[in-house]
Structure 1
């Protein structure tokens, strides 16, 4: 499993980009106070449904696994020389 030096920052950015993607698809913004866990699950499911990322097997859909999938999804969106992609 590939890990990144700035994985926490990448997850934060992935949630921002994922929320924008969801809004462009017609979904409402997350209400204030929505937990990170809920945001990760919702964005992961939307991206998997839209075939933007390869879904995990049902038994592997845990918080850490979904967060990592979002980080990998974001890594593919960033330019190769982006500072967050340091390993």
Structure 2
């Protein structure tokens, strides 16, 4: 897994986009106290469920791999 050039910024963008996406769909309401880790995992699972990203093999799911997957997804979004 090759780290993206601006992965940290892309993860932040992915969280913002994912929160907006989940709340727009009406499936989640994030609290300000929710950790970035929890948000990342929920957004990842939601995007996999909606078939917007391909699932990682369950034995390869880690916070690092989830963040990488979300960063790739965010880099492909407009804006």
* TM-score using structure 2 length: 0.90
Work out which of the two has the higher radius of gyration on C-alpha atoms and give 1 or 2.
Answer: 1
Partner of residue 64, structure 1: 64
Partner in structure 2 of residue 13 of structure 1:
13
What residue number does 1:83 align with? none
Partner residue, 2:42:
42
- Provide the aligned length of Structure 1 versus Structure 2: 79
5+ long unaligned stretches in structure 2: none
Tell me the CA shift for residue 10 of structure 1: 0.7
Other-structure match for 1:55: 55
1:32 to partner: Cα distance: 1.7
Structure 1 alignment gaps of length 5 or more:
80-87
Q: Which residue of 2 aligns with 1:23?
A: 23
Worse overlay, 27-36 or 6-15: 27-36
